[in-house]
C-alpha cells in the first residue's frame, strides 16, 4: 500500500487513479482534480472525520474520495454509484492501492433508493446542470446517511444549500472554495480546461 505522510503525497497517489472509461454527460462525470481532492481529504482527516471511520462515497465515480479516505486510515469505505462501469473503475483503482488491511464495499444503486449508515459522507455529486436538483437530492441522502457530510457544489448555490440543510437539522461548519478545473471530456467541449467556482461544504447534524 502507498504510504501517505503529507497532503502532496496524497495528491500524487490520487493523480494516478484511472479515469472514466465511458463518461456520461447526464451524470456529469468529470474527473476531480487530485490537488482539490487531497486538500479536502487532508482537512477532513485533521478534523477527525476519517481515521477509524466508516466512509460513504456517494456517486463515487472513479472512487477518488473513498480511496483517499482509505489511504488516510478509514476503517472502511463504501463506494456507491448507479453507473456500473464507473463502479468497476473505482474497484479497479482501489485494488491498485489497497492492502489486506483496507476494507471496501461496492454498491451499484440509484441514490434515491439508498439506505445506508456511515460515520462520514464524502461526495462530489452532479451539480444539477443536466438533471435539475440532482445536487440537493444527493445532499439530502448524504444527511440521512451520516452525521458528518463533505459535499462539493457550485459556489453560487451554497447559501441555498445552507438553508436547505438547516431544515434537515444540519449546520454548516466549514466551507472551502476552489477554482474547479473541468477538463475537456465530451465532444461538445471547446476549451481544454474550463474553471468554475466550486465549494466543498462540511455539514454536521446531531448524532
Strands 120-123 and 148-154: parallel
More confident residue, 68 or 25: 68
Q: Is the pLDDT of residue 168 over 60?
A: yes
Separation of alpha carbons 88 and 61, rounded Å: 9
Measured between alpha carbons, how far is residue 55 from residues 10, 58, 75, 118, 120 in Å?
17, 10, 8, 6, 5
Q: Where are the domains of the chain?
A: 31-204
pLDDT band at 49 (very low <50, low <70, confident <90, very high): very high
Query: Which CATH class name applies to 31-204?
Result: alpha beta
What pTM was computed for the model?
0.89
Sheet containing 104-108: give its strands across: 104-108, 76-81, 54-58, 120-123, 148-154, 193-204, 171-183
Q: Is the pLDDT of residue 189 over 50?
A: no
pLDDT of residue 129: 61
More confident residue, 192 or 169: 169
Are 205 and 171 in contact, with CB atoms under 8 Å apart?
yes
> 3-state class of 97 per DSSP?
helix
Locate 26 and state its grid cell: 447526464
Once rounded to an integer, what is the mean pLDDT over residues 105-114?
95
Q: How far is CA 72 from the centre of its chain?
A: 15
- Give the lowest-confidence range in 24-38, 59-73, 79-93: 24-38
- The dihedral through the CA atoms of 20, 22, 27, 29 has a sign that is positive
Helix axes 84-97, 64-71, angle to 10 degrees: 20
Locate 135 and state its grid cell: 445536487
pLDDT of residue 32: 85
Locate 39 and state its grid cell: 486538500
- Give the lowest-confidence range in 31-35, 90-94, 96-100: 96-100
Q: How many CB atoms neighbour CB 87 within 10 A? A: 21
Amino acid at each position: 500500500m502507498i504510504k501517505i505522510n503529507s497532503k502532496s503525497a496524497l495528491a500524487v497517489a490520487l493523480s494516478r487513479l484511472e479515469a472514466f472509461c465511458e463518461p456520461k454527460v447526464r451524470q456529469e462525470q468529470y474527473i476531480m482534480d487530485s490537488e482539490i481532492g487531497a486538500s479536502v481529504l487532508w482537512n477532513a482527516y485533521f478534523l477527525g472525520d476519517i481515521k477509524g471511520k466508516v466512509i460513504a462515497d456517494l456517486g463515487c465515480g472513479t472512487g477518488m474520495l473513498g480511496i483517499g479516505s482509505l489511504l488516510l486510515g478509514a476503517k472502511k469505505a463504501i463506494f456507491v454509484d448507479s453507473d456500473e462501469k464507473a463502479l468497476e473503475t473505482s474497484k479497479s483503482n482501489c485494488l491498485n492501492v489497497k492492502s489486506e488491511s483496507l476494507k471496501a464495499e461496492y454498491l451499484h444503486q440509484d441514490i434515491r433508493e439508498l439506505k445506508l449508515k456511515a460515520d462520514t459522507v464524502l461526495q462530489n455529486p452532479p451539480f444539477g446542470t443536466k438533471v435539475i436538483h440532482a445536487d440537493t437530492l444527493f445532499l439530502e441522502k448524504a444527511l440521512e446517511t451520516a452525521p458528518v457530510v463533505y459535499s462539493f457544489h457550485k459556489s453560487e448555490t451554497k447559501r441555498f444549500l445552507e438553508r436547505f440543510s438547516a431544515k434537515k437539522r444540519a449546520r454548516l461548519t466549514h466551507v472551502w472554495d476552489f477554482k474547479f478545473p473541468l477538463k475537456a471530456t465530451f465532444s461538445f467541449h471547446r476549451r481544454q480546461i474550463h474553471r468554475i467556482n466550486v465549494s466543498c461544504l462540511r455539514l454536521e447534524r446531531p448524532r
